[in-house]
Amino acid sequence: MPRSPRDASNIAATPASVAVPLEGRGAGPRLRSPSDLTLADAYAAGASSVRIGALYSLTPKRVLDAVRRAGVPVRSFREASRRYAVVHDRFRSIADEPTAYLIGFFIADACVRLRPAPTLAIALAPRDHEHLSTIRELLGAEHPVLTAPNAVRLTVTSLELVTDLCRWGVIPRKSLRAAPPAAGDLAPHLWRHYWRGVIDGDGCLSQTRGLPVVHLVGSLAVVRAFRAWCRRVAPGSCARVHPVGPGRRGFQFAMTGQRARLVIEALYGDATVALPRKAARARQLLGDRPLMG
């Protein structure tokens, strides 16, 4: 029986519409064995071989074999991963405040995977949904922000983007291995934006005995580099890097008092991108004193 125009438009609109349900029992429809042309039509409409295979209980390889037999070109891995747009060369160089900030934030609070696909994943607390949406905009990404009861998530697949992030130290399994970019990779005025990203991800702004405190936990290389930057901003500190503590991995550094105030002001002064609650905390700790400029 020939398809009506409505049926044909449905097939083009959604991969699930290639399903041909049989009357029967069970939780969902059973599907007739599809022809090569049916599988190829769904694939050409944008459905992945994995999704089509799930509909018909076929392996992705069998789906792709059918697509080839029908004469439909098979997408390359790069093409297949570009369902949503993103600025793939976003991190080719570190030339502005948002780029420096994002790399700092990602080295602290993102996950990079190379397999099965090169992927950047960011998961934040639900209260930071606004910030994740800002990150999505800065990436030029169309990928959806997914909401779960205890987290909001953004996942981006891009070979170029992940490759560039790895160059700047955002690597897989980075918790204890992460290292900041080399000194010459960032212009001097961009380092404060990089470190603000790191503090927004893995740092803490607090107060003890009425004095401001800036505190960072991370890998030894990252924490040592942050200490060196802090000592340039607020010379004279004798604070040292210490292990986090017994039974816990990582290292920490904290600065207190007037020098911490100088560091907080350098981090958050005139910032155009920051975690809103950390920026608010910085303003609170500095009191009525303006944040630079």
User: 199 is written with which tokens?
Assistant: 């503090």
Residue range 67-77: mean pLDDT, rounded = 83
What was the pLDDT predicted at 17?
A: 32
pLDDT over 70 at 290, yes or no: no
Which comes out higher in pLDDT, residue 48 or 207? 207
The model's confidence at residue 10, banded by pLDDT at 50, 70 and 90, is: very low
Give the model confidence (pLDDT) of 100-137 as tens digits: 999 999 999 999 988 777 889 999 999 999 999 999 99
pLDDT digit string, tens, across residues 222-251: 999 999 999 999 998 888 999 988 877 899
Topology of domain 97-175, CATH: Endonuclease I-creI (3.10.28)
pLDDT tier at 289, thresholds 50, 70, 90? low
- Binned at pLDDT 50, 70 and 90, residue 81 comes out as low
Each residue of 221-232: b (16+ CB within 10 Å) or e? ebbbbbbebbbe
**What integer is the mean pLDDT of 5-11?**
33
Q: What is the pLDDT of residue 133?
A: 96
Tokens of 248: 């816990």
The rounded mean pLDDT for the chain is 83
What is the domain partition of the chain in residue ranges? 5-75, 97-175, 191-286
With 60 as the cut, is the pLDDT of residue 18 above it?
A: no
Cα(155)–Cα(92) distance, integer angstroms: 19
* Alpha-carbon dihedral angle through residues 239, 243, 246, 248, given to the nearest 10 degrees: 130
For residue 12, pLDDT over 60 is answered with: no
**Do 97-175 and 191-286 show the same overall fold?**
yes
CATH number at 191-286: 3.10.28.10
160-185 tens-digit pLDDT:
999 999 999 999 988 788 899 998 99
pLDDT of residue 3: 39
Give the least confident one: 24-33, 123-132, 169-178, 257-266: 24-33
In the β-sheet with 248-256, what is the strand arrangement from edge to edge? 203-208, 211-218, 248-256, 242-245
Which strand (E) or helix (H) includes residue 227?
helix 220-233
Identify the pLDDT of residue 78: 65
Q: What percent of the chain has pLDDT over 90?
A: 54
For residue 226, give the nearest of 189, 159, 270, 179 by alpha carbon.
179
Tell whether the model's pLDDT for residue 218 goes beyond 90: yes
pLDDT at 28 (0 to 100)? 38
pLDDT at site 55: 84
Spatial distance between the Cα atoms of 67 and 19, rounded to a whole number of angstroms: 16
What average pLDDT does the segment 187-193 reach?
96
Query: Does the CA dihedral 185-158-136-166 come out positive or negative?
Result: negative
d(CA 290, CA 233): 17
pLDDT for position 192: 97
Confidence of residue 258 (pLDDT cuts 50, 70, 90): very high
| Mean local confidence (pLDDT), 82-93 | 86
pLDDT score for 149: 84
